[in-house]
Structure 1
Amino acid sequence: MDLHEYLRILSRNWILIAATALVGILIGGAASVLAKPVYTSETQLFVAIQSSGSVQELQQGNTFSQARVQSYVKTVESPIVLQPVVDALGLPLTADELATRVTATTDLNTVLINIAVNDTSPVQAAAIAQATADSLVKAVDTLEKPKAGGESPVSLSIIKPAIAPTSPSAPNTRLNLLFGLLAGLGIGLGSAVLRSTLDNRVRSEADLRRVTDAPLLGGISFDQDATKRPLLTQASPQSPRAESFRQLRTNLQFANVAGSANTLLITSSLPGEGKSTTATNLAIACAQAGQSVCLVDADLRRPMVNDYLGLERNVGLTTALLGTADVNDIIQPWGDDNLYVLASGRIPPNPSELLGSDEMRQLILRLESVFDIVILDAPPLLPVTDAAVLSQHVGGVVVVVGSQKLRQNDLEKSLTALELVGAKVLGIVLNRLPSKGPDAYRYGYYSHDMEPTRKQSRKMNGRSEVFVPRSADRANDVVGH
């Protein structure tokens, strides 16, 4: 992944990352509050060699002292030094347990020994540090004393007595908070990358390109009001949603530059991706541009076009295919543009056979000869074969992809199914794109303040319909024999 992809992951998962960072800070703060304060008391000793004071003896003594200091540092944590401390102070500890609280160090090329003691009591920390220094002086004097008798050639002196600290050395609240923040950020970033790696849903054009090189004809942003007001005529003319369908209409004209595909099949991989609303609104957009459009509800399993447009469904495509009525008598005009709708008709027991029949092919050819563009709303590709069968009768197929809903492998299966039957895929429409965030699809230079144009409303079969009445005989003049 490149830097741009990582930035997209951060944008998609910023809430997760911020939440884990906050949890890390809270844990760090809780650890600081709940931890018992620890106090550190320090003392320092100076190592000297007994000599007569000549220059040569002083140089030799200094070299000897530096060599011996490392041994004395190790001796501090031994029982020979700490056991007398335990006995003198009456500590409820063993020498080994006390050694975990005592730290002895020395600076390079010096004869100074630093002793630090940690304890929950500042007074006791100072007492143990002072007692340890005193015990070390006695232990070194004993160890360095010649066997033949006489004084030890090494002398240790306490140059910095231990005092009780006024503030605890631990816990370090700032350090704990910083560590919690870094740990939380690390966990959040790791979780975000893992989540993005395992999530193979189509969210944007970048995800789409991992599956296909088919043109992206347009993106339609998700609108909460679309569930109640799905039609293009119910939205503001300057709204991003309305502009999305006009852009789709324009891009389809470029995709069909040869003019061979004036019959479009709109389908999707799975139900619920918005193919019916896309087909309906695309038909409205084309009609608003002055084209004569016929919208055919070819979803003979779950027809939805009649619900969106408020039209009669009992007579329609299946009626025409069975020869019960002529298409001139059942096609329905809608709106005040040249838009005509052929509803689905009654749901048959054999949709695939009807859609793949010669009667269906002849009906499409008949509609093509009259209308500028024919748009068919077909069932989804994966659950049934209707769309794949019907795609052989049309000039081009547009696949609607529900953003954040469809997985990449399902889209790949759908496109493979179309490829196997030799269908011409004109492109992809990304639907339900978020209006904000890294995957947003919007037109920021259009106004959102205009109210949608309200057309004359009437009731048909108990449903409200946005419809401008036409003369009853106009539909009969549309489709010729």
Structure 2
Amino acid sequence: MELKDYLRILRRSWITVLACALIGTLGAGAASLLIRPSYTSETKLFVALQNSGSVAELQQGNIFTQARVQSYVETVSTPAVLQPVVDALGLDTTPEVLSGSITATSDVKTVLISISVVNPSPVQAAAIAQAVADSLVNVVDDLERPSRGDVSPVKLSIVTPAIAASTPSSPNVRLNLVLGLLVGVTVGIAVAVLRSVLDTRVRGEADLRRITEAPILGGISFDPEATKNPLLTQSAPQSPRAESFRQLRTNLQFAHVSHRSKTVLVTSSLPGEGKSTTATNLAIALAQAGQSVALVDADLRRPMVADYLGLERSAGLTTALVGRADLDDVLQPWGDDNMYVLSAGQIPPNPSELLGSEAMKQLILRLEAAFDAVIIDAPPLLPVTDAAVLAQQVGGVVLVIGSQKVHTTDVEKSLSALAMVDADLLGVVLNRLPTKGPDAYAYSYYSNDGHTTSTPRRPKSVNRSEPGLPDSTFEQLLNGEPRSTSRLREVRNRGRGDN
């Protein structure tokens, strides 16, 4: 991954990183409060030769002293030095245990020995440090004294007496907080990267680009109100949602400009990605642009278009395909624009066979002859084969991808299914994109007011004298009685009148 990928991961998971940082800092603070304070007391000794002589002798003596200092440092932790300390102070411990709290060090370039003692009591720490220094002076004097009883050539002198510390040496609260913060941030970043690697959901364009170079026709931001008000006409005219479908309409027209067929199939990989609302709103956007549009609900398993638009669903596509009614009779006008809807009709037991039949092919040709654009809402690609069957009979396919609803493997399977039937993929639509963050999709045009219409526009045929499909007409169609009104001729005549 590149640096920008890591930055995108951090932007996506900044809450996780922040939470881990806070947990690490709070944990370090709590540990600092729970740890019993310890105090450190230190004393220093100077090692020197007792005899004096010429300069050469002093230089040799200095080399001798430096060589012996390290041995004296090691001697500090021996029972010979510590047992007298235990006895003198009456400590309830052993030399071996006591040596764990004592640290003796020396600089190789000096003849100084530093002895530090850590203890929960500052007074006790100072007493032990002083006692250890005194004991070391005596032990070294005994060890270096010649056997015939002369004076020891080496003398240790205490140059810095041990004193009781006024502040604890541990815990170091400030250092612990900094370390806790760093550890928390590190863990948070590791968790974010690991989760990004293991999470195969498509979140935005960057994830999609890893699996396909198909054109992105548009992106639709997630709107919590879309569940109640899914239609484009229920949003403010200059709202981000309305602008997204206008951009989708424009991009689709450019992507479809070289195709002879006027039919566009809208599908998705799995249910719940928003293909039906996308197909419906795309048809509305095209109609608002002045085109005559036919919206066909070819999802014969879970039809939703009629419910969104408030239309009759008893007779429709299946009614026309099985020959119980003519296409003219089941087209329903909707809205104030030149838009007609062919609902799904009754759900058949053999949707794939119906959609792949010659009757379906002829139906599409009739619609293309009468309308400027035909939008077909098809079932998802992966659960059933209906969309793949239909894709062979249309001019192009638009694949709707629901952000965080579908995995990359599902999208790859859908693309393979379309490629297998030699379908013409016009592009993809990213739906349900977040409104903020690295995967956000925003526009520069916004509504001046927050007003939205909550009631969808009803079909023009309802309670009006214009030709439509009242309940009695559907009863006739369901009973097999034909009608003579030509809906397709009406569309053609309206198109000539507008021009």
* TM-score, L = length of structure 2: 0.92
Deviation, 1:119, is: 0.4
Q: Which residue of 2 aligns with 1:461?
A: none
Deviation, 1:327, is: 1.3
- Determine helix, strand or coil for the equivalent of 2:427: strand
1:177 aligns with 2:177: yes
Matched positions, count: 473
- Determine helix, strand or coil for the equivalent of 2:488: coil
Q: Which residue of 2 aligns with 1:472?
A: 466
Q: Which residue of 1 aligns with 2:392?
A: 392
Distance 2:165 2:261 in 1: 87
Deviation, 1:278, is: 0.2
Q: Which residue of 2 aligns with 1:199?
A: 199
> Which runs of 5 or more structure 2 residues have no equivalent in the other structure?
470-484, 491-499
Q: Which residue of 1 aligns with 2:75?
A: 75
Deviation, 1:471, is: 5.1
Paired residues of 1:237 and 1:450 also in contact (CA < 8 A): no
Which deviations, in whole Å up to 9, do the C-alpha atoms of 1:174-206 show, x marking residues without a partner? 111111111111110000000000111111111
Distance 2:178 2:289 in 1: 61
Distance 1:45 1:261 in 2: 98
Deviation, 1:232, is: 0.2
Q: Which residue of 1 aligns with 2:280?
A: 280
Deviation, 1:3, is: 1.1
Distance 1:51 1:367, change over 3 A: same
Q: Which residue of 1 aligns with 2:221?
A: 221
What are the equivalent positions in structure 2 for 1:315-464 lying under 5 Å apart? 315-447=315-447, 449-452=449-452
Moved more, 357-366 or 102-111: 102-111
1:189 aligns with 2:189: yes
Deviation, 1:212, is: 1.3
What are the equivalent positions in structure 2 for 1:89-128 lying under 5 Å apart? 89-128=89-128
Q: Which residue of 2 aligns with 1:294?
A: 294
Residue type of the alignment partner of 1:82: L
Paired residues of 1:51 and 1:57 also in contact (CA < 8 A): no
- Determine helix, strand or coil for the equivalent of 2:370: coil
Paired residues of 2:332 and 2:468 also in contact (CA < 8 A): no
Deviation, 1:88, is: 1.1
Paired residues of 1:370 and 1:478 also in contact (CA < 8 A): no
Paired residues of 1:141 and 1:155 also in contact (CA < 8 A): yes
Q: Which residue of 1 aligns with 2:313?
A: 313
Which deviations, in whole Å up to 9, do the C-alpha atoms of 1:265-299 show, x marking residues without a partner? 10001000000000000000000000000000000
Which deviations, in whole Å up to 9, do the C-alpha atoms of 1:381-435 show, x marking residues without a partner? 1001111111111111111000111000111111111111111111100000001
Distance 1:381 1:423, change over 3 A: same
Deviation, 1:256, is: 1.1
Q: Which residue of 2 aligns with 1:26?
A: 26
1:131 aligns with 2:131: yes
Paired residues of 2:237 and 2:447 also in contact (CA < 8 A): no
Instruction: Give runs of ≥4 in structure 1 deviating > 3 Å.
Output: 464-471, 473-478
- Determine helix, strand or coil for the equivalent of 2:392: helix
Paired residues of 1:238 and 1:450 also in contact (CA < 8 A): no
Moved more, 436-445 or 271-280: 436-445
Distance 1:241 1:471 in 2: 34
Deviation, 1:28, is: 0.3
Distance 2:31 2:92 in 1: 27
Residue type of the alignment partner of 1:473: P
Which deviations, in whole Å up to 9, do the C-alpha atoms of 1:93-137 show, x marking residues without a partner? 111111111101112311111100000111110110000000000
Q: Which residue of 1 aligns with 2:478?
A: none
Deviation, 1:261, is: 3.4
- Structure 1 vs Structure 2: percent identity of aligned residues? 68
Residue type of the alignment partner of 2:377: D
Moved more, 288-297 or 387-396: 387-396
Q: Which residue of 1 aligns with 2:477?
A: none
Residue type of the alignment partner of 1:361: K
Distance 1:214 1:165, change over 3 A: same
- Determine helix, strand or coil for the equivalent of 1:88: helix
- Pairwise CA RMSD: 1.6
- Determine helix, strand or coil for the equivalent of 1:393: coil
Paired residues of 1:352 and 1:386 also in contact (CA < 8 A): yes
Paired residues of 2:295 and 2:375 also in contact (CA < 8 A): yes
Q: Which residue of 2 aligns with 1:160?
A: 160
> Which runs of 5 or more structure 1 residues have no equivalent in the other structure?
458-463
Deviation, 1:480, is: 4.2
1:36 aligns with 2:36: yes
Paired residues of 1:238 and 1:446 also in contact (CA < 8 A): yes
Distance 1:268 1:52 in 2: 98
Distance 1:84 1:276 in 2: 90
Residue type of the alignment partner of 1:276: S
Q: Which residue of 1 aligns with 2:255?
A: 255
Which deviations, in whole Å up to 9, do the C-alpha atoms of 1:42-84 show, x marking residues without a partner? 1111111011343333222222211111111111111111111
Residue type of the alignment partner of 1:99: S
Distance 1:79 1:292 in 2: 102
What are the equivalent positions in structure 2 for 1:139-150 lying under 5 Å apart? 139-150=139-150
Distance 2:389 2:313 in 1: 23
Deviation, 1:477, is: 4.6
What are the equivalent positions in structure 2 for 1:53-64 lying under 5 Å apart? 53-64=53-64
Moved more, 137-146 or 416-425: 416-425
